[in-house]
Amino acid sequence: MELVVRKNDLLRELQLFQGIVERKNTIPILANVLMEAMGDQLSFLATDLEVGLRSKCAASIAKSGALTLPAKKFYEIVKSLPETDIRIAEDKGGVKVAADRFDSRMQTLPREDFPTLPESGGASSATLPRSAIKEMVEKTQFAITGEDTRYFLNGALFVLRPEAMSLVATDGHRLALVTVTRDGKPDDAEEVKAILPKKTLGELARLLQEGDEDIRYERGENHLFFEVGGRLLISRMIDGQFPAYERVIPKGNDKHIEFERDRLTNAVKRVALLSNERSRAVKFQIDNGKVEVTSSSPDLGEAKETLPVDYGGASMQICFNAQYVLDFLAAVSTDIVSIELKDEVSQAMMKPVGAEGYDYTYVIMPMRV
Amino acid sequence: MTDRFSPATILHADLDAFYASVEQLLDPRLRGKPIAVGGGVVLAASYEARAFGVRSGMPGRRARQLCPDLVFVGGHFSEYQRLGDAAIGILSDFTPSIERISIDEAFADVAACTHLFGSPAEIARTVRARVRAELGLPMSIGVARTKHLAKIASQVAKPDGLVVVDPDTELEFLHALPVALMWGVGPATEARLAKIGVTTIGQLAESSPKSVERLLGHAVGTKLTALAWNRDPRQIQMRRRAHSAGAQSALGRRPAIERVFKPTLHHLADRIGARLRAKSLAGRTITVRVRFADLRSVTRSLTLSAPIAATRALAEIAEDLVRGVLADHRNEKTISLLAIAVSNLEAHAMVQLELPLGLGDEGRRPGTKKGVARSRADRAIDAIRKRFGGEAVDYGSAVGGGRSVPDEFRRLVEREL
């Protein structure tokens, strides 16, 4: 293989692979990116066996072929080079990467060791609007559990129906559900569900950062494919049963309070500074016309901030992990948010007020003494 | 502290045949007779009984065979606590630098009080005399430069004696003694060392550290070699903060089956859970230890996302871990000991409730409906026991697990001192 490629073209693609390659390095080849040169294109592939990414860029190819290079080191080298042409050539001793007056030779691993990934072109596919998906990922990603024992919660459930699509994630303490309406074709399958790994969502969000193309989505037997602007994200599905999340969304929470989002965010942030460092508990004391957010910690002290609200119902108090409240407040963009409560031990429900184009429900369990 | 020239100021004080001595003190008719505290199992034996070969931990039947005149007595547990506290109290009249390691033994460092009360040997003599005069109990004391050597010296001093080890001749003293006297050398290690011809501490000291490490593992090997040369940097720890809570149960030789280990684990979990709850603590890491017939032990642990102190949850996790151990050691048919420890302790103040997702692991999570119900049940049981005593109420699953050792005794041994 021998080619010349522009630094910025190469760098843009290599950057996208930094989150994909395996960091633990248990299987050496998974730290490498596979590059294939053919015609006037250089194509890339990397995977950690859970998530894979294919992409390509233009290059002038003197000799076609394929080779693998350590994704991280290769990226660092390319990044450090001046904006110029980069020459890549394979010889007996390794792979030559050169530009300007810089010269290097990198160790390679045999192309044959690189795993094969499933190809798209299977059963059901759909076009998904880019901005809606981006929004959905941002509003649910943070609620995915980090606990390995509940592997079926290590991702978000994607539900695709002809008239709407939803993404839902939970860590057992809070649940985030976002639904967007869509105009599916009448011959679309009734309902297609899949659990998307946390890492897949993160990489998808990265692919959606730039550009304006929509997403072509395809569900294979064990894999999902997301094609965005010529790049293809391939993800294993989490094999498991996502819990019946509809059941935990409270109905009949009779206490409704609205807050200005900024004021609530600032109050919770400030008060949480003196909360117990492990539990991060803040208390909401709700009375006629006001909500008092308080915290106390035997080692640190105590704090209080009063927020005037339009509320005339029964008084109550409820404790939350401040981080869970702040996660929601950071994920929404409306000026006003609402909270609906029943009692101090039942699910609370938070929603953005006046959100357009999507329906967002955040369910959060209180803390108790 | 432990340089070669430091004086011998560490005392190890140990009440002789403590439980049996208390019984003989309380009932003069038992004095001079071979007695054992316990029934199914010998918890403690008087020196008269020991002369016949009766040892603590021995099945009652075997003890009677060895000593037909053996008198079994039930335990006066509150008296043990009171007299144990009183004996340590006498020691603390001399120095606050005391580390109590069980109900009947403690270390003390008298380096700072010799100008008030005389040499360490004089202090030890006074303590022994006062314990004898004020409490009527025999106490042996070892005095040395390190904790390890002081403890060995007190064992050598028994019964009712005092041994002061002169720093100039401490290695001669130490090296002549059998390895079994060393702290950390149990029957299993003793047998292994015997295989390479090591029976005295001197032989252990002269063995190549490499071969000892190969035999006993790096950590144990290094530690024992250092102790054999009286290198022991450990200082008196006056106040130990609890980092973990544990309990164990010696089973003799019992088949490795559910019917045996389940009630035992439940009972252990109950004891640990109650202790944690009494201190408003809960732990995230649960460790079990299973010892097989050949005294080889296997441990297994699990770390949870939220700390627990609930008896049932602890018991279920311990059961799973033991099942895992047994599944990996299918040829082991007999277990001789089970132990549970809970570590990664946290103050148990706020509980994050969990969404009712209907998942299978809810019993192990303190914030689920089931978890909350379990802590309520535990609190109710704790309250009843506090009022009416430990045997007043029990969990259904723990009933019927035959106990050879009374729980009052367990509590005494496991109590935070």
CATH number at residue A7: 3.10.150.10
Mean pLDDT of the region B193-215:
90
Backbone angles phi, psi at B5, to 5 degrees: -100, 0
Q: A154 and A85, same structural domain?
A: no
Classify burial at A25, counting beta carbons within 10 Å of its beta carbon; exposed 0-12, middle 13-18, buried 19 or more: exposed
The number of folded domains in chain A is 3
Q: Alpha-carbon torsion A25, A26, A30, A32, what sign?
A: positive
> Does the N-terminal peptide bond of residue A28 adopt cis geometry, omega within 30 degrees of 0?
no
Residue A11 included in any domain: yes
B86 and chain A in contact, CB less than 8 A: no
Q: A131 and A96, same structural domain?
A: no
Query: Residue A187: what pLDDT?
Result: 62
Of B381, B355, B380, give the one whose Cα is nearest residue B368.
B355
Q: CA-CA distance, B299 to B279, in Å (whole number)?
A: 26
Q: Which of A147, A248, A366 sits opposite B305 (nearest CB)?
A: A147
Q: A255 and A235, same structural domain?
A: no
Range of the structural domain that residue A287 is part of: 250-364
**A and B: number of Cβ contacts within 8 A:** 58
Q: A131 and A236, same structural domain?
A: yes
The single-letter DSSP state of residue A214 is -
Which residues are within 8 A (CB) of B158 and not within 5 positions of it... i.e. 6 or more apart?
Answer: B14, B16, B140
- Which domain-ending residue is among A246, A269, A288? A246
Is A365–B351 a contact, with Cβ atoms under 8 angstroms apart? no
pLDDT at residue A110 greater than cutoff 60:
yes
Q: A327 and A292, same structural domain?
A: yes
- Which domain-ending residue is among A69, A90, A113? A113
- Which domain-ending residue is among A93, A113, A133? A113
Query: Residue B395: what pLDDT?
Result: 66
Query: Residue B1: what pLDDT?
Result: 42
Q: Where are the alpha helices (DSSP H) in A252-321?
A: 261-272
Is B358–A247 a contact, with Cβ atoms under 8 angstroms apart? yes
Q: A72 and A171, same structural domain?
A: no
pLDDT at residue B416 greater than cutoff 70:
no
**Catalytic status, residue B105:** yes
Per the CB < 8 A criterion, the answer to whether A164 and A180 are in contact is yes
Cα–Cα distances in Å, from B148 out to A304, B278, B313?
Answer: 54, 33, 39
Q: A164 and A105, same structural domain?
A: no
Provide the pLDDT confidence category of residue A349 given band limits of 50, 70 and 90.
Answer: very high
Query: Residue A102: what pLDDT?
Result: 94
Provide the pLDDT confidence category of residue A123 given band limits of 50, 70 and 90.
Answer: low
Q: Supply angle C-alpha B290, B295, B299, rounded to 5.
A: 30
Catalytically annotated residue among B105, B170, B316, B408: B105
pLDDT at residue B130 greater than cutoff 70:
yes
Residues on A contacting B at a C-beta cutoff of 8 Å: 147, 149-150, 170, 172-175, 243-245, 247-248, 276, 278-279, 281, 319, 321, 345, 347, 363, 365-369
By C-alpha distance, the chain A residue nearest B280 is A369
Cα–Cα distances in Å, from B289 out to A204, B335, B354?
Answer: 45, 11, 31
Q: How many CB atoms lie within 10 A of CB B380?
A: 11
Mean pLDDT of the region A190-210:
90
By C-alpha distance, the chain B residue nearest A349 is B355
Of B258, B335, B267, B270, give the one whose Cα is nearest residue B298.
B335
Q: Which residues of A touch B354 (CB under 8 A)?
A: 172-173, 365
Q: Which residues of A touch B373 (CB under 8 A)?
A: none
Residue A119 included in any domain: no
Give per-residue pLDDT as tens, B238-284. 765 567 888 888 887 888 888 989 999 999 999 999 989 888 888 98
Residue A269 included in any domain: yes
Query: Which has the higher per-residue pLDDT, B413 or B147?
Result: B147
pLDDT at residue A121 greater than cutoff 90:
no
Q: CA-CA distance, A129 to A123, in Å (whole number)?
A: 20
Residues listed for chain B: 417
CA B364 to chain A, closest CA, distance in angstroms equals: 12
Provide the pLDDT confidence category of residue B413 given band limits of 50, 70 and 90.
Answer: low
Q: A292 and A229, same structural domain?
A: no
Q: A282 and A224, same structural domain?
A: no
Q: Which of B349, B358, B367 sits opposite A243 (nearest CB)?
A: B358
Q: Which amino acid is located at A324 in the chain?
A: Y
Residue A369 included in any domain: no
Residue A118 included in any domain: no
Q: A135 and A215, same structural domain?
A: yes
Query: Residue A220: what pLDDT?
Result: 84
ipTM score above 0.90? no
Q: A135 and A241, same structural domain?
A: yes
Residue A323 included in any domain: yes
Give per-residue pLDDT as tens, B276-320. 988 888 898 999 999 988 777 888 888 888 889 999 999 999 999
Cα–Cα distances in Å, from B255 out to A260, B262, B325, B330?
Answer: 66, 12, 14, 12
CA B246 to chain A, closest CA, distance in angstroms equals: 24
Percent of chain B scoring above 90 in pLDDT = 45
Provide the pLDDT confidence category of residue B211 given band limits of 50, 70 and 90.
Answer: confident
Q: Which of B354, B358, B361 sits opposite A173 (nearest CB)?
A: B354
Give per-residue pLDDT as tens, B32-60. 999 998 877 888 899 999 999 998 878 88
Q: How many CB atoms lie within 10 A of CB A41?
A: 14
Residue A167 included in any domain: yes
Residue from B286, B321, B345, B352 to probe the interface with A (highest A Cβ count within 10 Å): B352
Q: A259 and A231, same structural domain?
A: no
Residue A58 included in any domain: yes
Q: CA-CA distance, B200 to B181, in Å (whole number)?
A: 9
